[in-house]
Chains A and B, each alone.
Chain A
Amino acid sequence: MPMDANSLTELGVKAIRDGVAAGDFTAREVAEAFNANVAAASALNAFIVATPDHALAAADAVDAARAAGEALGTMAGVPIGMKDLFATRGVQTTAASHILEGFEPEYESTVSANLWKAGAGMLGKLNLDQFAMGSSNETSYFGNVISPWRRNDGGNAALAPGGSSGGSSAAVSARLAPAATGTDTGGSIRQPAAFTGISGIKPTYGRCSRWGIVAFASSLDQAGPMARDVTDCAIMLEAMAGFDPKDATSLDLPVPQWEAGLNPDMRGKKIGIPREYRMDGMDEDVAKSWDDGIAWLKDAGAEIVDVSLPHTKYALPAYYIVAPAEASSNLARYDGVRYGLRDLPDGAGLQDMYAATRAAGFGDEVKRRIIIGTYVLSAGFYDAYYNQAQKVRTLIAQDFAKAFEQVDVILAPTCPTAAFGLGDKTSDPLSMYLNDVFAVPASLAGLPAMSVPAGLNREGLPLGLQLIGRPFDEQGVLNAGLALEARAGFDAKPERWW
């Protein structure tokens, strides 16, 4: 059945892959349809650069392979958005920073290479918070990403798409891409997914290679897929994951067949509800969506169990020591010598060049975190801050381990609120950090965690529910996500205004 371009861009990963394989439409038709949507959506500022030729070339290769009767990859014919934190050979890779503006890697990140090998193509490099530091996509050197969503109050206040994967979330929810890569250090896949009514999963730390991903906090950074539903996330995660000898923390384990293993039957499963996540003054709509999620999983056959994660309130402050500490070390490489920006004032020596280059090349939030990190690692403070935070991190991981003796998966809200307005939190860094309160604990413990859309709040904005699983149990997380998805029946999408 021939499909017009508008119908093609409503399709997700599975529908595109299966449709291309069945000959319902060509990969080139799909790529052209999404390229057109990308080109028409500059008002969202979701892409830093568009790469329509890359998408078309990958599509043509898939169409040719199909014509020749060759086996097609698991992402064959699916054009995706690539967060601009992944090194892509010959295509500008900036981490949304000035210091890397114009940087064209001579190599390809492992995750993006895996996706191209599976038959995916690239629509472009997606905007993000600078060096993935932010929760609203307001720290990018290339400007804010505007969420395609608006409140139902008739106003047109610009809302945050979440962060740091804000270009990814905006692009997928606005139908500029059927799926996109994200990275999650302290919620950067889950929070933007929740803000824009899409799904996203951060796998167990080590599932996806970090090789070729611009480093933020190496003990936390994990790549993962963002897509419109749970099945599409399973397909794409399978293509992204895998052992990589070039990443010392890569897990030397076979990649499970998550797509084939999808099963929404929750009978015999225990779902934990962490009481510490029910905070005083919790947003009523968020509390209600959590209750809905409990009822849906019960309906799917799960037993609901109250669990305690007593150190929850310390997760965020521990994160804001560990992550900036690692960032201050990782970002020491930007020195104006080997790549990126160089600012060499007249008559300056080497040290002055370093300081001038970094002053000109880093944005305010990046500088703030480097300074915090340098401070907590400096002589005399290391034990009080960094070591104490790493001990608290051990306690947080133990909390989860104890809870997982009783339950299979934990259910909680993804975020304390729906999307906030651009500019609402920029004057107070702490209030911005607090938005990640529910997302950060799973990051500190390296656990697989996912956000799925649960419904709309009274302002007409999406809310997400979060599922957290045992280490290596992405399948349990995806399955519970599928059970929620079937019952939430979320089919809202932003009305096109851009």
Chain B
Amino acid sequence: MSIDRATVAKIASLARIRMSEDELDCLAPELSGILDWVEQLGEVDTSQVEPMTAVIPNTLRLRDDVVDADPLTGGNKRDDILANAPAAEHGFFGVPKVIE
């Protein structure tokens, strides 16, 4: 399947990655090549096959319904959570203006 530049631009916008014209020119043929190659999967008859959901069978667990059961991942961690933020202000994540 051939991917054109406009499609790559649309996907890049969905993925929130700004791309230059040069990058789009470069990626379009590369992606076409990769997708042509993965298309061989279409040869496999999978009409009777379920898609894999868990590679090793496992049961989902519920944690105990207790506040701060694990203090490491519980609450009251505001300062830890903000410690690496590029723009933490007044105990919040700072972001550029969202609403005019």
Contact = CB atoms under 8 A, between A and B. Distances in A.
Contact of A328 (B15, B33, B34, B54): B15
Contacts of B7: 375
Contacts of B41: 314, 317-318, 321, 385, 388-389, 392
A122 B95 CA distance: 36
Nearest to B53: A390
A245 B31 contact: no
Interface in A202-248: 204-206, 219-220, 245-246, 248
Contacts, number: 171
B61 A248 contact: yes
Interface string A384-400: 11011111111101000
Interface stretch (A152-160, A182-190, A362-370, A479-487): A362-370
A106 B11 CA distance: 34
Given A107-B72, A245-B63, A391-B46, A371 B16 contact: no
Given A205-B55, A340-B84, A430 B33 contact: yes
B56 A206 contact: yes
A311 B63 CA distance: 39
A362 B17 contact: yes
B91 interface: no
A445 interface: yes
A66 B42 CA distance: 61
B44 A374 contact: no
Contact of A354 (B16, B49, B53, B80): B16
Contacts of A367: 17, 19, 23, 27
B90 interface: no
A426 interface: no
Interface string B49-91: 1111111101011010000001011000100110111110000
Interface in A347-387: 348-356, 358-359, 362, 367-368, 370-372, 374-375, 378, 384-385, 387
A171 interface: no
A205 B80 CA distance: 30
Given A358-B16, A370-B17, A388-B41, A342 B87 contact: yes
A317 B13 CA distance: 25
Nearest to A318: B41
Interface string B1-23: 00100011001111111110001
Contacts of A393: 51-52, 55
A388 B97 CA distance: 42
Interface residues of A, number: 72
A375 B17 CA distance: 13
A342 B86 contact: yes
Contacts of B61: 245, 248, 252
Most chain B CB within 10 A, of A313, A374, A446, is at A374
A461 B37 CA distance: 30
Most chain A CB within 10 A, of B52, B53, B80, is at B52
Contacts of A206: 56, 58
A446 B55 CA distance: 6
Most chain A CB within 10 A, of B17, B27, B60, B85, is at B17
Given A337-B95, A340-B84, A375-B11, A394 B40 contact: no
Nearest to A342: B86
A429 B37 CA distance: 12
A359 B18 contact: yes
Interface of B: 3, 7-8, 11-19, 23, 27, 30-31, 33-35, 37-42, 44, 46, 49-56, 58, 60-61, 63, 70, 72-73, 77, 80-81, 83-87, 93, 95-98
Counting from the closest, the 6 A-B pairs by CB-CB distance are: A446-B55, A390-B51, A342-B86, A339-B84, A391-B46, A359-B18
Given A339-B84, A393-B52, 10 more contacts: A104-B84, A245-B70, A246-B72, A248-B61, A328-B15, A338-B85, A355-B13, A374-B14, A391-B52, A397-B55
